[in-house]
């Protein structure tokens, strides 16, 4: 395999005369956020995540259509207007950027020029699009190197999707993420559509504030998948009415690939990454908030509040998911009995393990192990058939 150059946003910025580049990503809270560069103002990053993203016509349309979108600094868009005021942007273009931060969560490379109001030429847009492909490939290669060997190829039982971010409208039409949505089984697709119709109907009737909730849903085998659902009362950048965004929550192996530099524009979120690494290593002994928060030099109260808000999951749930994922790996290997797995993963005893595992997955450890064995065997046969074709 040829060496993949590690293309940075700074290199992309100088690839077009007088150009600058930002990375927009879709994880992990069911919306958009600015990931880099670090020079984006902190207030602008926070305002974008909290409100301005709803008006980002460029990024939402790139995610929907999968092709470049252009605009100028005078466009009738609240987001573009405020960005232009903050940066002096005069000419803008957004292009698709595959999974810039975590696998399966698409993004956008937003390029802009300050000193020239001339629109980007077709040749420049193509150059930016090609650079975005290089950047996406380089980041994916870097993540693969960070993965533990066991997860370089995802096990058949893992909840992997080519796209883990989906947006549905009030009629349950998929506006973004149809590839991932269509990979879900019938039961999950039906539940997501029902949930979108119900939430958006209630939103229209009650005028409810935008909400973000954790949503566990069982697939056809009874295995729970966890989504983060964010309801937009209005999403003017994408739809005339309300919309619901569903983000499949990152798994432990996803979070293990995250580095502070991947999300350097979000200073608070980048600061919390070492605490995730610590919790993934130490979950079995159950460290408390005081010990964990000390890693990132925050008070326990402030750490819990910021971690839960920025990551979309509480520290306690994050450690439990690490614990459950380790248990799944041991169950799937078939090497250990339940009592051994319970002890290895830090559960008080086997019945405690069984109770927490069923609560987290929807299945008892024994039923889950049988399901994982069937999925693994099915994947093995499919691989043999593909090789023999």
Strands (E), 133-194: 165-169, 174-176
Residue that terminates a domain, selected from 198, 215, 249: 249
What CATH code is carried by the domain that includes residue 212? Answer: 3.30.450
How many degrees, rounded to 5, is the angle at CA 303 between CA 276 and CA 146?
15
CA distance 318 to 312: 10
CATH number of 102's domain: 3.30.450.40
* Dist CA 345 CA 356 (whole Å): 12
| CA distances from residue 109 to 13, 60, 219, 229 in whole angstroms, order as listed | 11, 12, 34, 24
Q: What is the pLDDT along the chain (389 residues), one digit of tens a residue?
A: 334 444 566 656 555 656 789 999 998 778 899 999 999 988 999 999 888 998 999 999 999 999 999 998 777 788 888 888 888 888 899 999 999 999 999 999 999 988 766 788 999 999 999 999 999 999 999 998 888 776 777 889 999 899 999 999 999 999 999 999 999 999 999 999 999 999 998 866 555 446 688 999 999 999 999 999 999 888 888 877 889 999 999 998 899 999 999 999 999 999 999 999 999 999 988 899 999 999 999 999 999 999 998 888 899 999 999 999 999 999 999 888 999 999 999 998 999 999 999 999 999 999 999 999 999 999 888 887 777 76
pTM exceeds 0.85 for this model: yes
> Could you tell me if 170 and 98 lie in one domain?
no
- Tell whether 123 and 178 lie within a shared domain: no
Residue 182, preceding peptide bond in cis (omega within 30° of 0): no
Q: Return the biggest CA–CA distance within the chain.
A: 68
Say which residues have a Cβ less than 8 Å from residue 209's Cβ, sequence separation at least 6: 233
Q: Are residues 138 and 183 in the same domain?
A: no
Q: Which two tokens stand for residue 307?
A: 């971690």
Please give the residue range of the domain that contains residue 241: 165-249
The verdict on residue 244 lying in a domain is yes
Distance CA 50, CA 78 (A): 14
């Amino acid at each position: 395999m040829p060496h993949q150059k590690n293309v940075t946003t700074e290199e992309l910025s100088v690839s077009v005369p007088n150009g600058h580049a930002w990375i927009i990503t879709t994880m992990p809270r069911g919306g958009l956020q600015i990931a880099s560069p670090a020079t984006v103002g902190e207030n602008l990053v926070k305002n974008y995540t909290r409100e301005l993203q709803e008006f980002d016509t460029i990024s939402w349309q790139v995610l929907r259509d999968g092709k470049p979108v252009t605009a100028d600094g005078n466009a009738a868009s609240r987001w573009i207007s405020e960005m232009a005021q903050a940066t002096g942007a005069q000419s803008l273009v957004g292009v698709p950027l595959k999974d810039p931060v975590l696998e399966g969560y698409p993004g956008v490379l937003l390029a802009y020029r300050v000193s020239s109001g001339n629109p980007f030429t077709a040749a420049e847009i193509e150059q930016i699009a090609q650079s975005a492909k290089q950047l996406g490939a380089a980041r994916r290669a870097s993540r693969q190197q960070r993965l533990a060997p066991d997860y370089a190829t995802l096990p058949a039982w893992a909840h992997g999707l080519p796209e883990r971010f989906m947006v549905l409208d009030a009629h349950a039409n998929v506006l973004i993420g149809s590839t991932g949505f269509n990979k879900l089984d019938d039961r999950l697709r039906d539940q997501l559509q029902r949930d979108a119709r119900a939430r958006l109907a209630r939103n229209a009737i009650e005028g409810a504030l935008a909400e973000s909730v954790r949503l566990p849903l069982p697939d056809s085998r009874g295995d729970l998948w966890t989504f983060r659902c964010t309801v937009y009362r209005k999403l003017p950048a994408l739809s005339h009415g309300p919309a619901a965004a569903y983000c499949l929550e990152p798994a432990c192996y996803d979070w293990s690939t995250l580095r502070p530099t991947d999300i350097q524009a979000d200073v608070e979120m980048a600061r919390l990454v070492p605490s995730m690494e610590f919790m993934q290593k130490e979950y079995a002994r159950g460290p408390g908030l005081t010990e964990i928060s000390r890693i990132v030099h925050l008070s326990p109260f402030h750490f819990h509040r910021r971690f839960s808000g920025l990551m979309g999951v509480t520290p306690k749930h994050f450690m439990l998911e690490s614990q459950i994922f380790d248990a799944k790996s041991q169950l799937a290997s078939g090497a250990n009995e339940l009592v051994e797995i319970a002890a290895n993963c830090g559960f008080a005893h086997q019945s405690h393990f069984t109770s927490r595992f069923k609560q987290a997955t929807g299945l008892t450890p024994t039923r889950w192990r049988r399901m994982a064995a069937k999925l693994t065997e099915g994947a093995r046969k499919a691989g043999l058939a593909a090789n023999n074709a």
